[in-house]
Structure 1
Amino acid sequence: MLDPVLPIALYLLLGYLFKIFFKDNSKELVEFVIYFSLPAMVFVKIYPLTLDLKILNLICMFNTIIIVNLILAYLIGKFFALEKKTLATFMIIATFGNTSFIGFSYIDAFYGQDYVVYALIYDLFGSFLLVVSLGAFIINWGSGNVVHFKSILKSVLIFPPIIIFFITVVLKFFDMPTFIMNTAQTIGATLVPLAMIAIGMKLEIKNIFYKVRITSLALTLKMLIMPIFVMILFGIFYNLDETWSKATILEVAMPPMTTAVILAIKGGLDERLAINALVIGVIFSLASVTGFYYFLA
């Protein structure tokens, strides 16, 4: 029953043990994933894909889900009278999910690589674009800093997977040699194990009970309430038997985004709260995401 998720748990454990007994190489692994594994995955999945109105509709839908999540997080945070810095941190961890590293891992494990493309579109044109735009505004608002539009635009334009996406759109007009496709597939296959091992190295258990009430509230909204809400809507307007619907619901159920947590820390928000949510979210996802998968099945 747990066969698909056990490799993910093992990767996390290997990363954590490597950090304990040797050292934390997560920075180097994450950089390799961002500059090589993820762009290779983008190329392999986007090159054969027909970019049509359906893809545009998916992008609009994914962005709508994240924005609704953000509004709910703000309203809940205000209801509980969270002070500004804590509220901004709460909104970040309760809204932006790890739809790339962890998301790709779960979709690959449960539905196969053919459906990673939905997670890819959700991540690139939903999670990533919104976290470096809306997320940056929230982080700067919470920490009292000024928002610089130039830096936001630069973050989008120099992100390697985004660059490769547009290059791939152009390359679609040309036939690619077999050795290039095979090489890209091989490099792209390193994404899941390397990303999960890197996240395992980032896990910190010492702050597990820091502001646990706020953390639990954020994770309940992010990993339970939102996917259930989306699942109900999909059951009304779409077909829950279709794999793309299931993959989308699992993406919505992902734990807090590593990139969002890093940006929150760099921006001066509540570091321990952000890291605590990331750690507990990753561990909890082994049960919650698996639960959603079997329920949908």
Structure 2
Amino acid sequence: MISVLGLLFTSLLLGMAARRSGRFHEHTAHVLNAYVLNVALPALVLRSVHGLTLVPELLLSAAVPWVIFGAAWLLFRAVGPRLGLAPGSVAALVLTGGLGNTSFVGLPLIEGLLGPEGLRVAVVVDQLGSFLALATVATIYAARAAEKETHPAALWKKLVGFMPLVALVLALLTHPWAYPTWVDGVLARLGATLTPLTLFSVGYQLRLSGLRGRGKALCLGLGYKLVLAPAGIALLLLALPRLDRLSFEVTVLQAGMAPMVTGAILAVDHGLDPELSALMVGVGIPLSLLTVPTALWLMG
């Protein structure tokens, strides 16, 4: 877990250093974002979803990220304007505070805190929950928020053209057949570039000076993602006692993971307050390393 966390912070710091160096093109972040959404993430989805074994009783855990995204949409649209937030900022909060980093932060944290047995539940929450929500409802929401486009044909075109969703469909269609070894190897290497490049891009766009005047938005977004969401999910699952203890703990911890980096990339790609999107991830990841273990302690 230490090596994974080291990669997260190193990539973030390198991105910040790259921007300060002046040696990178001004459109560096846009190029990296395009690569992440069209190459690295589809490769990861093709490989991970293709090998996913679904346990029916874990469908409740898989539904949790969808509930969190829906609640984020309701909360931020109701409270954001009252705090003086622009529509683009509200949309950025929905995409970052509504989607959790259940993979690159979540999986190593779950393994470190609960052991390898916890990964069985964590992977289902990540793939059928977070990634699927990102590829469908989050993509539609981003398109509507950025372009104010409501025509079904235009939204359908946007959705069909979203490469991670295309990869998800292909992975499900080819599930009965094993990939050739070389294909699996290529997908693994391409998918492995996602974490460092996404965080490098976030670091490149992260300006800590932007914290000034962003306190209300960050408190709202991170307060929901790191505190209210896991607390609410815990209460909901307690009212629906269908999960064993381990599944309950993993599901709640995944609900409280930091904002999804790819969700921030999606917001930036649609021009939805890039600065706030980067701050949500850049501040949220370090904070989650404190809040997630605290949540486990409280459940103990």
TM-score w.r.t. the length of structure 2 is 0.77
1:165 Cα deviation after fit: 1.5
Tell me, yes or no, if structure 1 residue 241 matches structure 2 residue 240: no
Question: Number of residue pairs matched?
Answer: 281
2: CA distance, partners of 1:29 / 1:99: 23
1: CA distance, partners of 2:132 / 2:39: 19
Match of 1:72 among 70, 75, 83: 75
Q: Deviations over 1:140-162 (max 9, x none)?
A: 5xxxx453322221121111121
2: CA distance, partners of 1:49 / 1:185: 15
2: CA distance, partners of 1:46 / 1:194: 21
Match of 1:118 among 125, 143, 161: 125
Letter in 1 for 2:267: V
Which residue of structure 2 lines up, in the alignment, with residue 160 of structure 1?
Answer: 163
Letter in 2 for 1:130: V
Per the alignment, do residues 222 and 62 of structure 1 end up closer, same or farther by CA in structure 2, a change over 3 Å counting?
Answer: closer
Which residue of structure 1 lines up, in the alignment, with residue 114 of structure 2?
Answer: none
Q: Deviations over 1:105-154 (max 9, x none)?
A: 202432368745532333332134222324444555xxxx4533222211
2: CA distance, partners of 1:259 / 1:149: 24
Q: Deviations over 1:192-229 (max 9, x none)?
A: 11221121112123432134334433332333322332
Q: Deviations over 1:32-80 (max 9, x none)?
A: 22222212211221122235755765554432221122112233236x3
Partner SS state of residue 286, structure 2:
helix
1:13 Cα deviation after fit: 0.1
2: CA distance, partners of 1:258 / 1:189: 19
Match of 1:33 among 29, 32, 36: 36
Per the alignment, do residues 221 and 175 of structure 1 end up closer, same or farther by CA in structure 2, a change over 3 Å counting?
Answer: closer
Partner SS state of residue 210, structure 1:
coil
Q: Deviations over 1:80-118 (max 9, x none)?
A: 364xxx353353233222788954320243236874553
Q: Deviations over 1:149-187 (max 9, x none)?
A: 222211211111211121122222323222222222222
Check conservation: 2:97, 2:221, Cα contact below 8 A. no
Check conservation: 1:101, 1:191, Cα contact below 8 A. no
Per the alignment, do residues 100 and 137 of structure 1 end up closer, same or farther by CA in structure 2, a change over 3 Å counting?
Answer: closer
Check conservation: 1:215, 1:276, Cα contact below 8 A. no
The within-5 A match list for 1:81-230 is 82=84, 86=85, 88-97=87-96, 102-111=101-110, 115-116=122-123, 118-139=125-146, 145-230=148-233
Per the alignment, do residues 45 and 106 of structure 1 end up closer, same or farther by CA in structure 2, a change over 3 Å counting?
Answer: same
Per the alignment, do residues 53 and 101 of structure 1 end up closer, same or farther by CA in structure 2, a change over 3 Å counting?
Answer: closer
Which residue of structure 2 lines up, in the alignment, with residue 23 of structure 1?
Answer: 24
1:20 Cα deviation after fit: 1.7
Partner SS state of residue 176, structure 1:
coil
Check conservation: 1:92, 1:135, Cα contact below 8 A. yes
Larger deviation, residues 161-170 vs 99-108:
99-108
Which 5+ residue runs of structure 1 have no aligned equivalent? 267-273
Which residue of structure 2 lines up, in the alignment, with residue 270 of structure 1?
Answer: none
Check conservation: 1:208, 1:276, Cα contact below 8 A. no
Check conservation: 1:42, 1:164, Cα contact below 8 A. yes
Residue identity (%): 15
2: CA distance, partners of 1:290 / 1:103: 13
TM-score w.r.t. the length of structure 1 is 0.78
1: CA distance, partners of 2:259 / 2:245: 18
Which residue of structure 1 lines up, in the alignment, with residue 9 of structure 2?
Answer: 9
2: CA distance, partners of 1:70 / 1:49: 29
Per the alignment, do residues 293 and 212 of structure 1 end up closer, same or farther by CA in structure 2, a change over 3 Å counting?
Answer: closer
Per the alignment, do residues 3 and 146 of structure 1 end up closer, same or farther by CA in structure 2, a change over 3 Å counting?
Answer: closer
Match of 1:42 among 40, 45, 49: 45
Per the alignment, do residues 207 and 81 of structure 1 end up closer, same or farther by CA in structure 2, a change over 3 Å counting?
Answer: closer
Which 5+ residue runs of structure 2 have no aligned equivalent? 112-118
Letter in 1 for 2:127: L
